[in-house]
Amino acid sequence: MSVRGVRPDSTSFKLMVIGCFRDGKIQEADRWLNGMIQRGFVPDNATCTLILSALCENGLVNRAIWYFRKMVDLGLKPNLINFTALIDGLCKKGSIKQGFEMLEEMVGVGWKPNVYTHTALIDGLCKRGWTERAFRLFLKLVRSDCYKPNVHTYTSMIGGYCKEDKLNRAEMLFSRMKEQGLFPNVNTYTTLIDGHCKAGNFDRAYELMNLMGDEGFRPNIYTYNAVVDSLCKKSRASEAYELLNKAFSCGLEADGVTYTILIQEQCKQSDIKQALAFFCRMNKTGFEADMRLNNILIAAFCRQKKMKESEKLFGYVVSLGLVPTKETYTSMISGYCKEGDIDLALKYFNNMKRHGCVPDSFTYGSLISGLCKKSMVDQACKLYEAMIDKGLSPSEVTRVTLAYEYCKRNDSANAMMLLEPLDKRLWIRTVRTLVRKLCSEKKVGVAALFYQKLLEKDGSSLDRVTLAAFTTACSESGKNNLVTDLTERVSRGVG
């Protein structure tokens, strides 16, 4: 058109925008839409709704709001459906406060919310765990003369109660919607089945699946995924596989979630070969593994000290444009520490910043443990102090590991200094564990020193397990004299 000197009008741009959005070409649609707005063309309300919905569905809620404001500035008079599309997008994003602010704006220009507006808000509240607030809004709909809850409203409320493990209330709403003449859809059944499965109520879940068939609905792959996932988490994998075979025999095909569940289960069973077979099949069928699934595989490789494979997968992930997370790096660091390759562990630790990852207490703990295994106590101590300076709380394992390493070097003074800043409760718990570890390694002399400190701190703080470990270690080491002066005081404290 431009080459022939024909100037595109509002309709030309609108058709290009609609075509690109419908084809899933979001960036291209955004370019055409931007050009349209720059020329002062205003989409109609129907096109506006399509634009807002498409942007929100792709997670571009802020972009949707920006276009909405631009269109209003250019003269668009937004209607109820436009506002509802934005409210739904905000609620799905978890921006509930902004959703209610948009509702106020909508009411302010004369539009009253309908059942779809309320359902969007109810669904958002339930997903955030604010079920009681959602139920108050739900009751408002129930009591309304104009609008009544629909099947989607009931499903959102049922999902909210299932999420909070309030299955009696979920079942009550399930019965209530039927009484109101509303037929539960596949999503309603799947939501309730998922709730029962997570609570371990598989009998009721199977009952609901049968009820679906009686009422003319077929469980879909999402329904089966909900049951299979919970069965695997409850260590009932063989039952899960039987159920999946039943799904496949009914003509259903595995989706990305199905493959994720299977791969995760195989990694849990330490069957990396089978996990990789599912991973390859997943890629061949067109489902892309997200970072979470790649993290599961990388962690499984690292646990089995297969660092070449984990390194290869790490590189593959980066080449795909996926961004490694804190969990990815922690697995790699832990794996190299277990292998004794502290240089590579430190390299990954130092590279975390490249991907905007901030190490947490598990990351630090893994590296500190690796440094201690290499007897690099000074470096481990510096890392421990850096961790505390960043406001992170070392785990008990990290505290005991570092303190024990000092004790191995006959440097109990530094071990004591390391633990001194802890509050009384944590100090007692850590020192109890340290005493038991020292006793298991037959380091009875230094164990007695910490034992004495425990008594000084709190005479009643010693438990019978620690006492038994210390007594046994002294006996086996032929140092019963260490027990004699402490036994009386200890028996009074723990008696």
pLDDT, one tens digit per residue, over 196-207 is 999 999 999 999
1-113 and 290-391 have identical folds: yes
pLDDT of residue 459: 63
pLDDT of residue 334: 95
Please report, for residues 66, 72, 446, the alpha-carbon distance to residue 62 in angstroms, rounded to integers and kept in the order given.
Answer: 6, 15, 61
Q: What is the mean pLDDT of the chain?
A: 90
Q: Which residue has the tokens 């564990």?
A: 433
pLDDT of residue 215: 86
pLDDT, one tens digit per residue, over 107-135 is 999 999 999 999 999 999 999 999 999 99
Per-residue tokens: 244 = 């999946």
pLDDT, one tens digit per residue, over 66-118 is 989 988 888 889 999 999 999 999 999 989 999 999 999 999 999 999 999 99
Beta-carbon-side half-sphere exposure of residue 33 (alpha carbons within 13 Å): 27
Residue in 414, 409, 431 with CA at minimum distance from that of residue 422: 431
Per-residue tokens: 315 = 């590189």
Please report, for residues 27, 70, 247, 255, 377, the alpha-carbon distance to residue 288 in angstroms, rounded to integers and kept in the order given.
Answer: 20, 36, 22, 10, 43
Spatial neighbors of 257 by CB under 8 A, at least 6 apart, are 221, 222, 225, 229
Per-residue tokens: 325 = 């997370």
Q: Which CATH number fits domain 290-391: 3.40.30.10, 1.25.40.10, 1.10.10.10, 2.60.40.350?
A: 1.25.40.10
Per-residue tokens: 88 = 């739904």
> Residue 298 pLDDT more than 60?
yes
What CATH number belongs to 1-113?
1.25.40.10
The per-residue DSSP string of 171-212 comes to HHHHHHHHHTTPPP-HHHHHHHHHHHHHTT-HHHHHHHHHHH
- Measure the CA–CA gap between 217 and 436, rounded to whole angstroms: 59
pLDDT, one tens digit per residue, over 234-282 is 999 999 999 999 999 999 999 999 999 999 999 999 999 999 999 999 9
Percent of the chain scored above 70 by pLDDT?
96
pLDDT of residue 495: 40
- Measure the CA–CA gap between 446 and 404, rounded to whole angstroms: 10
- Measure the CA–CA gap between 433 and 372, rounded to whole angstroms: 17
User: What predicted TM-score, i.e. pTM, was given to this entire model?
Assistant: 0.77
> Residue 28 pLDDT more than 80?
yes
pLDDT of residue 494: 47
**Residue 96 in contact with residue 129, Cβ under 8 Å?**
no
Side chain identity at 197, as an amino acid letter?
Answer: C
> Residue 292 pLDDT more than 70?
yes
The number of beta carbons lying within 10 Å of the beta carbon of residue 206 is: 15
DSSP 8-state code for residue 354: G
pLDDT of residue 369: 94
Residue in 62, 80, 67 with CA at minimum distance from that of residue 29: 67
pLDDT of residue 491: 55
> Residue 489 pLDDT more than 60?
no
Q: Which residue has the tokens 């077929």?
A: 218
> Residue 492 pLDDT more than 80?
no
Percent of the chain scored above 90 by pLDDT?
62
DSSP 8-state code for residue 98: H
Backbone angles phi, psi at 166, to 5 degrees: -100, 70
Domain residue extents for the chain: 1-113, 290-391
Phi-psi region of 148 (alpha: psi -120 to 50; beta: other; left: phi over 0): beta
pLDDT, one tens digit per residue, over 428-450 is 989 999 999 999 988 988 988 89
pLDDT band at 460 (very low <50, low <70, confident <90, very high): low
